[in-house]
Amino acid sequence: MARPCGPCIALAVLAAAATALLTAILLRPPETTAVLRALTGWERGKIVDLTLPFYPGMPHREALGDEVIEPLFAHKPGVGRIGTGAQLDRYTLVGQWGTHVDAPVHFGAGMRSVDQLRADEMILPLVVLDIHAAVQENPDYVVSMDDVRRWEEQHGVIPERAFIVLRSDWSKRWPDASAYFNTDAQGISHTPGWSEAVLRYLDLDRQAVAIGHETPDTDPGVVASAGTYPLESWHLRQDRFQIEMLCNLDRVPAAGAVAIVTWPKVKGGSGFPARVIALLP
């Protein structure tokens, strides 16, 4: 009987090990990735909706008119103008309605419309600048570079190509129209806003893709009430977009979340209701 050859045994063991490894790899169940874990984390409070529902009669500027819903088909007989057996409605509303996106063309003639904003601009690091304590003291408060520096001392330099939002807790006044617009006897609205210094830093130095806030305007109410929108106009003309009338910014961390910012692809649209969600780390 021939003696087993040493190298042959080593080769056989190696081959068996390789086969076992290959089998293990091939039969391994698909990995649950971090993204998938985040996307399926609703029950664990890992997904936060930053969007207000919109509806006829919600707080809005009188001049823009209210939303109208016309039932064309309705489940209840006699309600739909065309028929029954299904629900199908015609909606009439101004583009900038409820939580909404403003595209660069909103203030920059010839600039990009909502359909021209790219899909890669809709998934962004979420940076939350928190001014809600200052706003409680002073509804006319505007975010300062000191607020930005405070964020950066804790979390590092604001990442490039981010979605930077202003947490003022103003959305907690919704849907009380009088509290939300906070207009005084002279017709001046007292709502917090952005500042030129901060917007210039975010858009020019940090290459922000978008900004967002809980109020109806980028500019503080005392400026917007005069019918001029210098900060909104400047920001949009940098080929950036913005989301207005956000909510639940008190439920997301100052840093580390990812925002998914979406809206219908309206050809040539200057603005449209948006759906914004945050995926928490």
Please, what's the b/e burial string for 186-202 (b: 16 or more CB within 10 A of its CB; e: otherwise)? eeebbbbbbbeebbebb
Q: 74 or 211, CB closer to Zn ion?
A: 211
Q: What tokens appear for 41 in the block? A: 């984390």
Stretch that binds Zn ion, among 16-24, 36-44, 199-207, 242-250 (CB under 5 A): 242-250
Q: Which residue matches tokens 């984390």?
A: 41
Give the closest residue to 243 by CA, choosing from 39, 51, 46: 51
- Segment lying near Zn ion (by CB under 5 A), choices 89-97, 120-128, 140-148, 163-171: 89-97
Q: How many positions of this chain bind Zn ion (CB under 5 A)?
A: 3
Q: What angle do CA 93, 55, 169 make, to 5 degrees?
A: 110
Site string for Zn ion, 41-80 (x = CB under 5 A): ----------------------------------------
To the nearest whole angstrom, how small is the minimum distance from the Cβ of residue 194 to Zn ion?
A: 13
For residue 74, what is the enclosing H or E element?
strand 68-74
**Residue 144 tokens, joined:** 């300062």
Q: Which one of 146-154, 161-169, 221-229, 238-246 is the stretch in contact with Zn ion (CB under 5 A)? A: 238-246
Q: Which of 60, 74, 80, 96 binds Zn ion (CB under 5 A)?
A: 96
Return the number of other C-beta atoms located less than 10 Å from residue 102's C-beta: 25
77 preceded by a cis bond (ω within 30 of 0): no
Q: Rule CB under 5 A: say whether 244 interacts with Zn ion.
A: yes
DSSP letters, 149-176, are HHHHHHH-SPPSS-EEEEE--GGGGTT-
What is the Cα–Cα distance from 265 to 263, expressed in whole angstroms?
Answer: 6
Q: Which is nearer to Zn ion, 9 or 226 (CB)?
A: 226
Q: Which stretch binds Zn ion (CB under 5 A): 65-73, 95-103, 145-153, 272-280?
A: 95-103
Residue with smaller CB distance to Zn ion, 102 or 219 = 102
Task: Please report how close the Cβ of residue 34 comes to Zn ion at its closest, in angstroms.
Answer: 34
Nearer to Zn ion, 67 or 244 (CB): 244
Site stretch for Zn ion (CB under 5 A), options 34-42, 55-63, 79-87, 90-98:
90-98
Closer residue to Zn ion (CB): 173 or 235: 235
Task: Determine the Cα–Cα distance for residues 208 and 157; give it in Å rounded to an integer.
Answer: 12
Around Cβ 228, how many Cβ atoms within 10 Å?
11
Of 102 and 214, CB closest to Zn ion: 102
- Of 142 and 236, which has the nearer Cβ to Zn ion? 236
Q: Which residues bind Zn ion (CB under 5 A)?
A: 96, 102, 244
